[in-house]
Structure 1
């Protein structure tokens, strides 16, 4: 499997670890923030891209009226299956879908939302063009992206620890993908390629990532993200060794008890053209 394909695989044991460990540690605070922003705009038909295990889906299902259509999609069927198993406060539609080839008619939604997913789209301009196509004129695209890894303590510390463990070929997934799409100019260019001609609004949101102990944080990053495939490919014991090594790095940085560290992301909001 090539690196690009490996970066997008959330299968096997990953969905469960992702939902139980990663979601409360780093994703839940941003889902609450995004859910509030979406509810304030009062959309009637919402399409969610890259829904993962449904942390944002659950937020908006609990905040929007029961007659608001919510369609949650993801490329990875195992992630959607975990989202469906977790359930929502009221019914939503779940669909396996590629963000670059959406299976919906033109002007089907008045909002397209995506939490920490656009970084994974191989052709971001094409994905934005699809979002524009399915939006009604004047509809809203809202998404968030992680800021530079330096502003995200846990991800920074894991990446540094793994670089020390594998100095000849440091695992760079966190830098390349989750924290590799934060430059406003690049995002604006891709939005223009997708046909979004209105100026996008960028807001930086700082939150706190938390874990009950170092083992949870190390397991979350090493075993609940596509880092897992990279580590497993380095030898039969590499995944467990990497998890142990990152745990010790966290203990040195944060101690043996509960951990807390800063994290930072950008929320991007842009309107589809009216003509």
Structure 2
């Protein structure tokens, strides 16, 4: 009953729950660092793909000089609508776009940035090829992907806790998609197939995911990601129960009150040399 196509759907109440819970839980820690990697480069125009609700966009707008234009895109219009509503410190252009078919001219950006979105692209090499196409010579593609699920403790705990709920049709979203594109050799191959001939720089960075209670990561993962789509596709009435099961498992592993779990990601920078 698993439907990988539903992995790409961030609609309904997901965007607001994603912004309220998941962004501070796991995305904020990496967003500023990603933007900082571009701050020292000479840039005129930056493209962000899979911008989600705009956590990286906000840091780009704050850290990059005001004369650097920023175009932030996402496949899911509801995510962009919320990103625009939350806003940025200076104007950016919000635009719905498919990363595998970018509506921009060749060699029109100095950098393409994507935080934790590549895993959702059905054809990674094609998306990399599109990024390379819109980059100027000397431009960079900068993106992040989560490491294997075992290195991301809240996600791993939630995934394991929900298995008994659906024994005949297990929920595979977390391991399949957010944590399914961690192999560096595969990423390097896809980059080469996308036209990036120079070996990328890869940094593996661990951080801590901290929440005031176990309820927060349970809500974040079960209701603020497409894991919710998987749960509701099996039995819509079990969403609340699944969230409670996840909360109990997190509390059992990390304690009651404030919880603190490891997260880990790969940060990859590939340059278009010609």
TM-score normalised to structure 2 length = 0.98
The reply on whether 1:60 has 2:60 as its aligned counterpart is yes
What corresponds to 2:12 in structure 1?
A: 12
What corresponds to 1:91 in structure 2?
A: 91
The reply on whether 1:271 has 2:264 as its aligned counterpart is no
CA deviation vs aligned residue, 1:156-200 (integer Å, no higher than 9, x gap): 000110113222222110100011101111101111111100111
Work out the CA distance in 1 between the residues paired with 2:7 and 2:236.
20
Listed as ranges, the gaps of 5+ residues in structure 1 are none
- After TM superposition, list the pairs within 5 Å mapping 1:198-217 onto structure 2: 198-217=198-217
Work out the CA distance in 2 between the residues paired with 1:41 and 1:19.
29
Check conservation: 1:198, 1:270, Cα contact below 8 A.
yes
What corresponds to 2:82 in structure 1?
A: 82
Residues 249 and 205 (structure 1 numbering): CA distance in 2 closer, same or farther, change over 3 Å? same
Check conservation: 2:163, 2:170, Cα contact below 8 A.
yes
- After TM superposition, list the pairs within 5 Å mapping 1:187-202 onto structure 2: 187-202=187-202
Check conservation: 1:42, 1:64, Cα contact below 8 A.
no
Check conservation: 2:2, 2:230, Cα contact below 8 A.
no
Work out the CA distance in 2 between the residues paired with 1:53 and 1:236.
25
CA deviation vs aligned residue, 1:103-152 (integer Å, no higher than 9, x gap): 00000001000000000000111100000000001210000100011110
Check conservation: 2:2, 2:171, Cα contact below 8 A.
no
- After TM superposition, list the pairs within 5 Å mapping 1:221-240 onto structure 2: 221-240=221-240
Aligned residue pairs, count: 274
What corresponds to 2:244 in structure 1?
A: 244
Work out the CA distance in 2 between the residues paired with 1:8 and 1:193.
23
Deviating 4+ runs (over 3 angstroms): none
Work out the CA distance in 1 between the residues paired with 2:270 and 2:43.
14
3-state DSSP of counterpart to 1:41: coil
- After TM superposition, list the pairs within 5 Å mapping 1:1-275 onto structure 2: 3-274=3-274
Offset, 1:18: 0.1
Check conservation: 2:158, 2:246, Cα contact below 8 A.
yes
Work out the CA distance in 2 between the residues paired with 1:135 and 1:5.
28
What is the alpha-carbon root mean square deviation over aligned residues?
1.1
3-state DSSP of counterpart to 2:114: strand
Work out the CA distance in 1 between the residues paired with 2:236 and 2:36.
44
Work out the CA distance in 2 between the residues paired with 1:87 and 1:141.
24
Check conservation: 2:153, 2:261, Cα contact below 8 A.
yes
CA deviation vs aligned residue, 1:198-252 (integer Å, no higher than 9, x gap): 1111001111011111111101100000000111122232111100111111111
Work out the CA distance in 1 between the residues paired with 2:150 and 2:79.
28
3-state DSSP of counterpart to 1:195: coil
Check conservation: 1:8, 1:226, Cα contact below 8 A.
yes
3-state DSSP of counterpart to 2:32: helix
TM-score normalised to structure 1 length = 0.97
